[in-house]
Amino acid sequence: MRTSLVVLALAGLLAVGGSALAQEKTKPARSTASLECSKQADEKGLHGKARKSFRAKCLKDMKQKKAA
pLDDT at res. 68: 78
Question: What Rg value do the Cα atoms of the chain yield, rounded?
Answer: 23
pLDDT tier, 39 (very low <50, low <70, confident <90, very high otherwise): very high
pLDDT tier, 62 (very low <50, low <70, confident <90, very high otherwise): very high
Count CB-CB contacts under 10 A for residue 37. 22
- Higher-pLDDT residue of 68 and 5 is 68
**Contact status, residue 55 vs residue 36, Cβ threshold 8 Å:** no
Give CA–CA dist 30/59, Å, rounded: 12
Quote the domain boundaries for residue 22. 2-67
CA 30 from centroid of its chain's CA atoms: 9
Domains identified in the chain, total number: 1
pLDDT at res. 24: 64
Count CB-CB contacts under 10 A for residue 46. 16
